[in-house]
Amino acid sequence: MTKTARVYKIELLIRTRGSVTFRELLEELEVSPATLKRDLEYLRDQLGAPIEYDRDSNGYRLGADYRGERHELPGLWFSERELHSLLTAHQLLSELDTGGVISRHLHPLLARIHQMLGTDDADAKLLLKRVKIVSPAKRPVASRFFELVGEALQRRRRIRLLYHTRGRGERGWREVSPQRLVHYRHTWYVDAWCHKAEGMRRFALDAFEEAELLETRARDVSVRQVAELMDAGYGIYAGARRQWATLVFEPQAAQWVGREQWHPEQEGQLLEDGRYQLRVPYTDETELVMDVLRHGAQVRVVAPAALVRNVARQLREAAAAYAA
């Protein structure tokens, strides 16, 4: 039985029976007296459990101030494996969180997890070093913009921002009502109602140049409507008019692509000759073309015709640039 399970059982036995002797606890837990003493000290000193020894009953009970009240031990609902998983999740969040905004607020939880595992600080740091997350082409986001968007979402307020539309090389002020944060391919976006365009738009937080929180209440768009408007396309691109791309991968690439999710609504099937056919919806072909090109000769675009022509043109241009 792990330490986590033992301290939970001690607290549960005392709560349900009212008073439990030292001998009864030893029999229930099947541990040495020294281990039981350490567990009782840990419950009282580290977790703040109101457990006291009662001479009259020769047993341990909840203190008089807590009788009849419910006292919870935070974190004891998790098994040891689940606590290790939480540490791994913390490491993942740290990698997503370049500015340390999220991690800073998670430190109290992380400290509690360390306590529950019974590890010292050195052990916890060693465990975190055993998890490595590679994030190529990461686009860092300024912490002030991340926190501002988070506050706007929480308080349901609008944001006025100076935004750099990199595709067109334009900068301009916009007033937006944030609806949700999106993390995609190593950077953060916010789906927001743009009051200038009078519609939903997706903004990259690393393209914010200036931003301020307004006291004007944000326009509310239902989560379902946000998903319908913003998640229909391929990758980060949103749009209303959907098309379906049909791609066929050679047997070598099929071993990997057959296990990948390109889109939640994709349709895939393994062909008799070992190739893999994948159909994915898209509204803007920009990102889809990039993903197709990275597979080189291992993929053939079957449909639609416009996508076939675009991929062929970009291959010719790449070959000409390489030859030059």
Q: Could you tell me if residue 238 is inside a domain?
A: no
- Rounded to the nearest integer, the mean pLDDT of the chain is 82
CA distance 276 to 270: 5
CB 149 within 8 A of CB 190: yes
Taking alpha carbons only, the member of 253, 231, 251, 252 closest to residue 240 is 231
Tokens encoding 242 = 């959907």
Whether the predicted pLDDT of 49 surpasses 60? yes
Q: Could you tell me if residue 137 is inside a domain?
A: no
Most distant CA atoms of the chain, gap in Å:
94
256, 302: one domain: yes
Counted residue by residue, the chain has a size of 324
Tokens encoding 293 = 């090109």
CA distance 106 to 125: 15
pTM of the entire predicted model: 0.63
CB 173 within 8 A of CB 195: no
Number of domains in the chain: 4
113, 149: one domain: no
pLDDT of residue 13: 84
Under the banding of pLDDT at 50, 70 and 90, the label for residue 317 is: confident
| Percent above pLDDT 70 for the chain | 76
226, 153: one domain: yes
Under the banding of pLDDT at 50, 70 and 90, the label for residue 259 is: very high
Better pLDDT: 65 or 145:
145
CA distance 112 to 93: 17
- At which residue do the structure tokens 């190593």 appear? 186
pLDDT of residue 282: 92
Q: Which residue, of 190, 206, 230, is where some domain finishes?
A: 230
| Cβ within 8 Å of residue 10, ≥6 positions away | 25, 29, 39, 40, 43, 51
Whether the predicted pLDDT of 312 surpasses 80? yes
Q: Could you tell me if residue 318 is inside a domain?
A: yes
Q: Containing domain of residue 294, as a range?
A: 243-323
Q: Could you tell me if residue 199 is inside a domain?
A: yes
Q: Which residue, of 66, 90, 117, is where some domain finishes?
A: 66
CB 133 within 8 A of CB 95: yes
Q: Which residue, of 230, 261, 281, is where some domain finishes?
A: 230
319, 249: one domain: yes
